[in-house]
Chains A and B, each alone.
Chain A
């Protein structure tokens, strides 16, 4: 099985925790690097490898606080790769979390949902 991908969060980049063995896939925190391509290359490459032999069910969690428009394109690429795993006949479920007072993050979740055919569930976090 593919090795897990674990990247610690920084002030500008998100926490990445992809662990197929425990079926945990999480991208969380803030994603505001100037060079988003540099950061996401590793993430997208990993997903490419994972998609060769994915779990029968993939539960993917997005819990972002902030992200810049440069990251938004890379996040769409990531989601499209998950969509492909889904259309290949695997079970994929994506959850998009947003804070109850964060209408912008909710809207962005809606934007992605509108562009994709893979199941994407928006969940409001209440405090």
Chain B
């Protein structure tokens, strides 16, 4: 069993994986650990910064989202925890950061629209979009700025991968994948 986990992770170039509750302290610890790893691997300073930036946004994005998620078994469809999946991989050409968490179905349309919009923008359009939202957007109560996805796309320089996997009549599992080229 253990060997198959190991081989599977190795085969998929996964250097870090976490499944469980996401707290602020946990996010900080992961970031610190991954920063040390990038440093230890002697990764190019420019790439290291990009990967770190994308990790910060992706992980904090999940943290803030889970914080707003109402949990508790009121009905059979309700989920009982604020758990998520956090994964970091290092392939020959790219680093990738994957996050997965539950999302209420009614929020899917809005999120999908935002992701499609970001993926349809070129570099300059992303810059313009970022500036507009930075200037006009209000900070939410949680201090989030609505800039996360745009920032990830800008720093990644590649399209964002995403998926909504239906769980039940109330929730889906949302996954987001951001890549950073190693060259």
Q: Do A and B bind each other?
A: yes
Interface residues of A (CB under 8 A from B): 11-12, 32, 34-38, 65-66, 68-70, 72-74, 76, 99, 101-104, 107, 111, 114-115
Chain A facing B: main interface SS: helix
Interface residues of B (CB under 8 A from A): 24, 27-28, 31-32, 45-46, 49-50, 52-53, 56-57, 60, 63-64, 127, 130-131, 134-135, 137, 139, 142-145, 147-148, 151, 154-155
- List, in ascending order, chain B residues with CB within 8 A of A70's CB: 60, 139, 143-145
Return B155 CB to nearest CB of chain A, in Å: 6
- Within 8 Å by CB of A111, from B45, B49, B131, B145, lies B131
- List, in ascending order, chain B residues with CB within 8 A of A104's CB: 49-50, 53, 154-155
Listed residue (B50, B143, B144) with the most chain A CB atoms within 10 angstroms of its CB: B143
- List, in ascending order, chain B residues with CB within 8 A of A32's CB: 31, 56, 60
Return B107 CB to nearest CB of chain A, in Å: 19
Complexed CA–CA distance, A11 and B27 (Å): 12
- Within 8 Å by CB of A34, from B63, B127, B139, B151, lies B63
Residue of A nearest to B149 (CB): A69
- List, in ascending order, chain A residues with CB within 8 A of B134's CB: 72-73, 76, 111, 115
Query: Known contacts A104-B155, A111-B134: does B148 contact A34 (CB below 8 Å)?
Result: no
- List, in ascending order, chain A residues with CB within 8 A of B147's CB: 69, 72-73
Return B128 CB to nearest CB of chain A, in Å: 9
Query: Known contacts A34-B60, A34-B64, A73-B147: does B52 contact A66 (CB below 8 Å)?
Result: yes
Complexed CA–CA distance, A73 and B143 (Å): 9
Return B30 CB to nearest CB of chain A, in Å: 12
Complexed CA–CA distance, A66 and B130 (Å): 17
Return A109 CB to nearest CB of chain B, in Å: 12
Return A88 CB to nearest CB of chain B, in Å: 21
A-B contacts, 13 of them at CB < 8 A, read A32-B31, A34-B63, A34-B143, A66-B56, A68-B57, A73-B134, A73-B147, A76-B134, A99-B45, A104-B50, A104-B155, A107-B154, A111-B130
- Within 8 Å by CB of B139, from A73, A101, A115, lies A73
Residue of A nearest to B31 (CB): A32
Complexed CA–CA distance, A65 and B48 (Å): 12
Q: Using A11-B28, A66-B53, A70-B145 as known contacts, list a sample of 19 further A-B pairs with CB atoms less than 8 Å apart, ordered by residue number in A.
A: A11-B32, A32-B56, A34-B24, A34-B27, A34-B143, A35-B142, A36-B143, A37-B143, A66-B49, A66-B52, A68-B57, A68-B60, A70-B60, A70-B139, A102-B49, A104-B53, A107-B127, A111-B127, A111-B134
- List, in ascending order, chain A residues with CB within 8 A of B131's CB: 111, 114-115
